[in-house]
Structure 1
Amino acid sequence: MTARTSWPLWSTTAELIVVDPAELAAARDLAGATLAEVEDACSRHRDDAELRAVEGRDLVDELVSPVLARLLADAIDAARCTDGLVDPTLGDRLEAHGFTGAPGVRSAVVHRATWRDVTLREGRLTAPAGVRFDLGATGKASAADLLAERLRDDPRIHHGVLVSLGGDLRAAGTGPGGGWQIDVRDGAGEPGQQVRLHDGGALATSSTLHRRRLLGEHEVHHILDPRHLGPAPDTWRTVSCAGTTCAAANTASTAAIVLGEDAPDWLERRGVPARLVAADRRVLTTSSWPTPLPAEVRHG
């Protein structure tokens, strides 16, 4: 019998599910400590976050904490492996569109850097003056990976754990027989499907349904296309991708939103298991997407 706990986190919900109920308290304690470190490192809502202080330098050349280094490394890797379709230096543009900073504030900024201008070597971050980071495309997924790895290595945890941060999932240790049963669905009323997530696996979803606001006369979502610095097309309601890490899965799902109609071919060429829900609610999957669980398993 599994046990679970959930709590509000970063305008979403965090959840832990453990195979052994006796390990739930220890897992929750470790989760609280780990996620507090992540928030201290890069929260976009805290002026005292480490990343905000780093950005305040005229020229960034800073040895950063191990947690921030991990988060930044994942973000830079995401940019590298997508050739910039996912770019962690779009913080200024998100602020200009009203998705960060104080409510109602628009910053008159010019995007002065890209991921190619940023380096991270042995924990030392180098970036040009004026760069504004936003780790929204990878930060939550990286945090799920970090927490899952710490749970796996913690001597108090001997059985499997499933981490969910706002629906970004990472399994650690040996899960229940047959794997974790996952409902892939972005809220009530959306097309859904249940699949298995096996030991060590990850699943992440990017969505255009949330964090929307008016920009002029048009409603837009928060995922930007780095190629033109505006919102990506509304081709897909959601894109869910599986991977060996949550950061890799979320990198692929975010890139797919940015690519619009080109996403299915891009994902297929890279062998990414993916499920895409179109604006008209049609569901497409790549050839490697897991087979849905049969009804007797879903409801039995």
Structure 2
Amino acid sequence: MVSAEQWVVWDSVVEVDVTEGAALSAASALIARVIEDTESVCDLRRGDAEIHAVNLSQGEPVKVSRRMSALLRSALWAARMTDGVVGPLAAARFDDEKIPPVHPVPTYQDVQIDDDIVFAPWGASFDITETAKADTVARAAELVATELECGAAVRIGEVVATAGHCPAGGWQIDVPSDGVVELVNGTAMATVGRSGAADDPLPNETEWEQVTVVAADPLWAYAAAEAALARRIGAIRWIEQHDLRARLVDRSGREYTTENWTLHAPRL
């Protein structure tokens, strides 16, 4: 029997499902602390967030906490795996009058991390919110499973991670705008979609309306889904090359699923 709880934080719906009802309250408290730890270092809306010190370093090495270093490493890993589609640097408009022409536009490849020292080039500004959420989902699920000795499925937004032992029948996870998909123990799922579709002046520029990916961990699931969304028609080959389990829906509502994708009937 699975017990669940939902709440909203960090602009996202957070949900925890556990296989032991008695562990639900403690699981929610653990997850709340993990989220707070992450927010405190990388939420750009918080004036005390550690990420501001990194963004203000502007070409100078800066010492960071272990958590900040881990989150930046995760963001850089996602960038490498997706050829920069999912990157740690915020999209910025550069003012030619303020930025000397000798400074090229920074990319994720220019960022270096040595233990707890981060070096980013002049002009770099980090925004790692989404990869940090995926990283936090993985951390939270593992923590609940380990400390409370139960199975756990943790969701932040549309990124889900599972850990511990599965409930009978596996984890039945909702897929936005569809039914449910079964996740085996230790796998993760992420769904991403285009925003502003109705106002898109170039409707043929993006092939997919929504992409869902199941992978070994939530960071890879999220990064792969974002990369597939950006690759348009090339996403199918890219997904297959990486042997991912995925469902892609185009603007007309037509769907493509990989051979290893199995959806169950929607819950009534």
TM-score normalised by L of structure 2? 0.89
CA distance in 2, matches of 1:108, 1:58: 16
Q: 1:29 to 1:137 in 2, by over 3 A?
A: closer
CA distance in 1, matches of 2:117, 2:130: 22
Residues 6-55 of structure 1, C-alpha deviations (whole Å, 9 max, x = no match) = 11112221111111110011111111111001101101222321111211
CA distance in 2, matches of 1:60, 1:195: 47
Q: 1:142 aligns with which of 135, 153, 159?
A: 135
CA distance in 1, matches of 2:200, 2:263: 34
- Tell me the CA shift for residue 174 of structure 1: 0.5
CA distance in 1, matches of 2:197, 2:68: 29
SS in 2 for 1:8: strand
1:179 matched residue in structure 2? 170
Q: 1:32 to 1:137 in 2, by over 3 A?
A: closer
Please say if residues 170 and 245 of structure 1, whose CA atoms lie closer than 8 Å, have aligned partners that are also in contact.
yes
2:154 matched residue in structure 1? 163
Is 2:263 aligned against 1:292? yes
2:235 matched residue in structure 1? 263
Residue 251 of structure 1 aligns to which amino acid in structure 2? Answer: A
Higher alpha-carbon deviation: 52-61 or 240-249 = 52-61
- Tell me the CA shift for residue 137 of structure 1: 4.2
SS in 2 for 1:164: strand
Residue 123 of structure 1 aligns to which amino acid in structure 2? Answer: D
Residue 41 of structure 1 aligns to which amino acid in structure 2? Answer: V
Q: 1:121 to 1:153 in 2, by over 3 A?
A: farther
- Tell me the CA shift for residue 127 of structure 1: 0.8
SS in 2 for 1:14: strand
- Tell me the CA shift for residue 136 of structure 1: 3.8
CA distance in 2, matches of 1:270, 1:55: 33
- Tell me the CA shift for residue 108 of structure 1: 4.8
Is 2:66 aligned against 1:63? no
SS in 1 for 2:57: coil
1:283 matched residue in structure 2? 255
Residue 17 of structure 1 aligns to which amino acid in structure 2? Answer: D
SS in 2 for 1:71: helix
Q: 1:292 to 1:121 in 2, by over 3 A?
A: same
Is 2:214 aligned against 1:193? no
SS in 2 for 1:49: coil
Q: 1:197 to 1:64 in 2, by over 3 A?
A: same
CA distance in 2, matches of 1:60, 1:92: 21
Identity %: 32
Please say if residues 88 and 137 of structure 1, whose CA atoms lie closer than 8 Å, have aligned partners that are also in contact.
no
Please say if residues 175 and 181 of structure 2, whose CA atoms lie closer than 8 Å, have aligned partners that are also in contact.
yes
CA distance in 2, matches of 1:134, 1:72: 10
Question: CA RMSD, aligned part only?
Answer: 2.3
SS in 1 for 2:58: coil
CA distance in 1, matches of 2:53, 2:197: 28
Q: 1:282 to 1:114 in 2, by over 3 A?
A: same
CA distance in 2, matches of 1:149, 1:123: 24
1:39-188 map, 5 Å:
39-89=39-89, 91-93=90-92, 96=93, 108=95, 112-154=105-147, 157-185=148-176
Instruction: List runs of 5+ in structure 1 lacking aligned partners.
Output: 97-106, 221-231
Please say if residues 151 and 161 of structure 1, whose CA atoms lie closer than 8 Å, have aligned partners that are also in contact.
yes
Please say if residues 42 and 129 of structure 2, whose CA atoms lie closer than 8 Å, have aligned partners that are also in contact.
no
Residues 133-192 of structure 1, C-alpha deviations (whole Å, 9 max, x = no match) = 1214422111101111222332xx11101100002000010120121111211xxxx3x1
Residue 292 of structure 1 aligns to which amino acid in structure 2? Answer: L
1:207 matched residue in structure 2? 193
Residue 63 of structure 2 aligns to which amino acid in structure 1? Answer: L
Matched residue count: 260
SS in 2 for 1:138: helix
Residue 169 of structure 1 aligns to which amino acid in structure 2? Answer: V
CA distance in 2, matches of 1:241, 1:9: 24
SS in 2 for 1:196: strand
Please say if residues 233 and 257 of structure 1, whose CA atoms lie closer than 8 Å, have aligned partners that are also in contact.
no
